[in-house]
Chain A
Amino acid sequence: VGAVRRQERLEYEWLFRASYPSVLRTVFLITRDIGRAEEVCQDAYLLLLERWSKVSQFEHPEAWVRKVAVRMAIRVTQREKRRTRLEATAQNAPEPHLPDLDLATALGELTPMQRAAVVLYYYEDRPVIEVARALRVSPSTVKQHLYRARSRLAELLHEEVRGDVC
Chain B
Amino acid sequence: MSVEDRLRAGLSGEAEAVTPEVEWQLERVMGRGLRRTRMRRAGYGIAVAAASAAAVVLAFNAGVFDPSVNEHVPGPVNQPEQIQGEYVVEISQATDRQADMVGRWRVELADGGVLRLVPPRGYAGTTSGSSYRVAGDVILTNAFVDRPGCQTVERGSYRWKRTGSTLRFAVVDDSCADRELLFADQTWEALP
Query: How many A-B pairs with Cβ below 8 Å?
Result: 112
The residue on B at minimum CB distance from A152 is B3
Does A87 touch B at the CB level, under 8 Å?
A: no
- Given A20-B22, A41-B25, A99-B17, the answer on whether A1 and B11 have CB atoms closer than 8 Å is no
Residues on the B chain within 8 Å of A123, using CB:
8, 11-12, 15
Bound CA–CA A13/B7 (angstroms): 33
Chain B residues 16-72 with CB under 8 Å of chain A are 16-18, 20, 22, 25-26, 28-30, 32-33, 36
Chain A residues 106-150 with CB under 8 Å of chain B are 118-119, 122-123, 150
- Given A103-B6, A122-B8, the answer on whether A159 and B1 have CB atoms closer than 8 Å is yes
Bound CA–CA A97/B16 (angstroms): 11
- Contact residues of B: prevailing secondary structure: helix
Bound CA–CA A123/B13 (angstroms): 10
Whether B4 pairs with A162 at a CB distance below 8 angstroms is yes
* Range for the number of chain B residues in contact with chain A: 35 or more
Whether B32 pairs with A5 at a CB distance below 8 angstroms is no
Whether A162 pairs with B3 at a CB distance below 8 angstroms is yes
Whether B22 pairs with A16 at a CB distance below 8 angstroms is yes
Whether A164 pairs with B26 at a CB distance below 8 angstroms is no
Whether A104 pairs with B14 at a CB distance below 8 angstroms is yes
Whether B177 pairs with A6 at a CB distance below 8 angstroms is yes
B-contact 0/1 string along A30-49, CB 8 Å cutoff:
00001001100110011001
Whether A122 pairs with B11 at a CB distance below 8 angstroms is yes
Whether A13 pairs with B2 at a CB distance below 8 angstroms is no
Bound CA–CA A21/B177 (angstroms): 29
Residues on the A chain within 8 Å of B5, using CB:
162
Within 8 Å by CB of A164, from B4, B33, B171, lies B4
Does B181 touch A at the CB level, under 8 Å?
A: yes
Whether B20 pairs with A21 at a CB distance below 8 angstroms is yes
Whether B26 pairs with A25 at a CB distance below 8 angstroms is no
B-contact 0/1 string along A5-21, CB 8 Å cutoff:
11000000100110011
Whether A118 pairs with B18 at a CB distance below 8 angstroms is no
Bound CA–CA A50/B28 (angstroms): 14
Whether A159 pairs with B6 at a CB distance below 8 angstroms is yes
- Given A2-B185, A5-B171, A123-B11, the answer on whether A34 and B28 have CB atoms closer than 8 Å is no
A-contact 0/1 string along B168-190, CB 8 Å cutoff:
00110000010011001100000
Does B10 touch A at the CB level, under 8 Å?
A: yes
Within 8 Å by CB of A160, from B3, B10, B15, lies B3
Of all A-B residue pairs in the complex, the 8 with the closest CB atoms, nearest first, are: A2-B180, A25-B15, A103-B10, A123-B11, A99-B13, A100-B10, A2-B184, A162-B2
